[in-house]
Structure 1
Amino acid sequence: MSQGSWSWMVLAGVFAGLVAAEVLWPRRQGPLSRFVRWTSNGVLFLVNGHLQSLLGVLGAGSMALLAEQEGWGLFQLVQAPAWLAIPLCVAAADLLFYARHRLLHAFPLLWRIHQVHHDDSAMDASTGFRFHPLEAVLELLTSAGVVLLLGMPVVGVAVIQLLALVVNLFQHTNVRLPGRLDHCLRYLVVTPDMHRVHHSVVRAEADSNYGVVFPWWDYLFGSYRARPAAGHAAMTVGVRGREDPGDLALFGLLLAPFRRLG
């Protein structure tokens, strides 16, 4: 079975498990109908997946092979052993992805693209699929640049991609974790309650908790926020000015970067 088939199987299994957890242990009351949201999020996921496949030669895996063949990048130059290079590369890549995420919020043009992810009217595992195709291309190209800069080994790329995939779905899940478990996990990984603050309609709260896989960078750079001011049950997720149903339907999402800022 090909690597692509395994990736799809892992994705489908993780998503199904998280949706089941949302049904059994919901954190917030979900919308009465998920059809429009799930359809839009699912179509965006399929479009982005095919788009990134078409540009696969520019992907992180291809760049890792190139870095290894040509000896490019930091960890190729220092000839670090695999047992040291892989975890350090994973941590360094996640730090750079954290920085990329902050830039998406800091610059109005990038925010126009990224706000498609934020203007979901609710937050559940499907929100992890909700990205504008322009952001998917930006992610592909910047990830390739990170791999070349670091000289990441192919195994390191596979590890960070798997972690990012699983944690991205997990952190968007509408699931209630026991308080003690959530507290402990926040030292290791971005949890749903931690990331939900990032989806608040209050911009000051949305401009926090940028962590992609690990929460450490938010603690280190002062962007960590423990909870929303209104509490998780009462907080509103989304983007102000983007509440119109037409804006949140599929074509509205595709046109969002070319319209006024939310």
Structure 2
Amino acid sequence: MNCILLPTSNIAQPYAQITASAQIIHVNKVLNLQVGDTLKIGELGGNLGTAIIDSIASDNIRLREVQLDTAPPAKLDVTVILALPRPKVLRRLIMDMTALGVRDIVLINSYRTQKSYWQSPLLTRLDEFVLEGLQQGVDTISPRITLQKRFKPFVEDQLASLITHNAIVAHPYGEQSFSQYLQQLSSESLSSATKTTLPSVVCIGAEGGWIDYEIELFHEQGCKAVHIGSRILRTEAAVNVILGQWLIQNNQD
């Protein structure tokens, strides 16, 4: 945790309290903070800031001089459509995408998504994984997460409304690399005197990627199939490599 996020109910200016056991353990065992030390905190859905530890008990850490005066970082202007992965991978992916600042996440069914994945109890713990990602990335605003169990109706009826400026689908056998695609966008922006804009939607498959039928449906909705090199990466690696482009641009704006 790079900051401790608290619900609004735990804040009563100029005081606040930490009651979640995992956060209390982190402050005591990982940060090794004592009474009088300053702690980075944030209000879920609100601002970031600091507070001073006033008292420490086994089930409660009282904070004083709470200052929440720093706005959270801007979200990445992107919607990630992700084929629901194996449950044990899901936690890492939600944490990583949240820490990176993804604005919207759509977990979708795919041909290679096993039906049992949709019954995983981890799907009921998405808020927990989001909180971990927010505390890692020092953010307070949760991404919007939606579940779509029917692939074709979603792609045909809803995907187009999410695409505000271009869309890509990650596919290891795409004819064009992601780098070439970005260079093309850059050239087009120079010729039209408009700012280079990254795609608003990224579609990423789980293990085994998308099948040809799915790629074709994405293509019909305007998604360009691109690859990120000759290496076949795990979903977690592909997500971080691709979204790194948005993170870099966000920090340049």
TM-score (norm 1): 0.29
- More strand per residue: 2
TM-score (norm 2): 0.30
